[in-house]
Amino acid sequence: MAMPTENSPVKSPRRSFLRKAALAAAGGLTLHRVVNSPKASAAPALPDAPGNEIVRMLADLDAALARSPDRRRWVMVVDTRKCLGCNACTVACRAENAVGPAGSYRWVRRIESGRGEWIADTFKPANCMHCDNPPCAKAVPEGMIRKRPDGIVELDYTRLKGPYARAAAAACPYNAIHIEDGRAFTEGTPAVQPYEQVEFREYGRTWRRGELVGAARKCHFCLHLLEAGMLPACVSTCIGRAMYFGDAGDSKSLVSELLAKNRAIRHKAELGTSPRVYYLAEPFATTPQAACTNCHY
């Protein structure tokens, strides 16, 4: 599939922050009405609401999982025009993957642009970019960081520790890797809470944070959920429907459609990393509040 470039045409209009919030709220109301309507039957017609996109992404996921891994091309697409900066995705990721205070698999950066009355906020969620040409892998002995056939960059938790973990973290231009230190958020309180001591599943195995002290950790595209036919936690949790995930190798998938119809930017693509996370952005704009986000993502 021909991937979009930074010069691809854009059809979506710019929306202000308040407009984003209103749209998200409207989507939520629509869903609520359908679920609670007395007319709702056991199998209601799906509304024209953000939920439809979840249904479609799940169908895309099923289709992708029916193909061999080397015929899938997992990508994440972030529509920055719809992100509200709420960080629900960050919380969902922490809970799903038992990420402690040493770092985060995911973060949402706030970018302020414009001057005077023309101030605009843009929010940019980010995580490991699952680079096709990952600098982290080149910084450590072969096999400690592997690129899977479906595109996910996988860490060997048993070997990528200590100086190797630090070398991988230093090599990542996106600051996507942190080092597990085993601490808990509730340390120093009367009791470390059980939800901080849960087991979690990554790379085909169950882990506890204590056994990963000194190891490199990062986003794994929620591989364990994908294998179970579920979307990554950050995608299914997003209340603004700004997060998308799917197979860009399938020209009929929702992510392929979004990439074909919008201007998509990849962060620091000029480094040659070939990141697998795409940001849908405004058209090249001339208004003062939009001008900075033409380039600064």
- Binding residues vs ligand SF4 (CB under 6 A): 93, 96-97, 105-106, 127-131, 134-136, 153, 172, 174, 176-177, 218-222, 232-234, 273
What CA–CA distance (Å, rounded) separates 8 from 21?
A: 27
Tokens of 249: 């190798």
- In Å, what is the CA distance from 158 to each residue of 194, 214, 216, 217? 25, 10, 10, 12
Nearest residue (CB) to ligand SF4, 24 versus 160: 160
What CA–CA distance (Å, rounded) separates 177 from 172?
A: 7
Nearest residue (CB) to ligand SF4, 20 versus 267: 267
Nearest residue (CB) to ligand SF4, 230 versus 292: 230
What's the min distance (Å) between Cβ of 35 and ligand SF4? 25
Strand partners, 108: 125
Taking each helix axis from N to C end, the angle separating 254-261 and 50-65, rounded to the nearest 10 degrees, works out to 120
Nearest residue (CB) to ligand SF4, 97 versus 253: 97
What's the min distance (Å) between Cβ of 167 and ligand SF4? 12
Nearest residue (CB) to ligand SF4, 10 versus 239: 239
Q: Is the dihedral of CA 165, 170, 173, 178 positive or negative?
A: positive
Q: What is the residue whose two structure tokens read 């429907």? A: 241
Other beta carbons within 10 Å of 59 = 13
* CB of 258 closer than 8 Å to CB of 77: yes
What's the min distance (Å) between Cβ of 218 and ligand SF4? 5
Nearest residue (CB) to ligand SF4, 155 versus 259: 155
What's the min distance (Å) between Cβ of 142 and ligand SF4? 15
What's the min distance (Å) between Cβ of 185 and ligand SF4? 17
What's the min distance (Å) between Cβ of 153 and ligand SF4? 4
